[in-house]
């Protein structure tokens, strides 16, 4: 759900992403979103960077090489 939305947007801010999910009927907490984002960042699927205090920019990472759903270093 999160990855599909980020793929469509390419990038967003964490608070905007949370608002969008909650607006669409999902009940997502910031804690749950943070867990998902951490997992996606470890897998190399997203990049999370601090913009300012309390705001993070989340970017979908395009990978040119895929192997079994994981990116491989070239």
**Residue corresponding to tokens 């491989």:** 72
Contacts for 38-45 with beta carbons within 8 Å, 24 or more apart?
Answer: 40/2, 40/3, 43/70, 44/70, 44/71, 45/3
Which pLDDT band, with edges at 50, 70 and 90, does 74 fall under? very low
CA of 5: how far to CAs of 18, 20, 48, in Å? 11, 10, 15
Structure tokens at 6: 């980020």
Higher pLDDT pick, 70 / 38: 38
Structure tokens at 73: 């270093």
2-62 to CATH, choices 3.30.590.20, 1.20.1440.130, 1.10.10.10, 2.40.360.20: 1.10.10.10
Q: What is the pLDDT of residue 11?
A: 94
pLDDT digits (tens, 9 = 90+) for 6-62: 999 999 999 999 999 899 888 889 999 999 999 999 999 999 999 998 899 999 998
pTM value? 0.76
């Amino acid at each position: 759900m999160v990855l599909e939305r980020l793929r469509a947007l390419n990038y967003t801010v964490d608070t905007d992403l949370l608002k969008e999910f909650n607006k669409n009927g999902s009940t997502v907490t910031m804690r749950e979103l943070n867990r998902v984002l951490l997992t996606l960042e470890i897998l190399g699927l997203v990049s999370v960077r601090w913009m300012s205090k309390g705001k993070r920019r989340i970017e979908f990472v395009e990978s040119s090489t895929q192997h079994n759903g994981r990116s491989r270093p070239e």
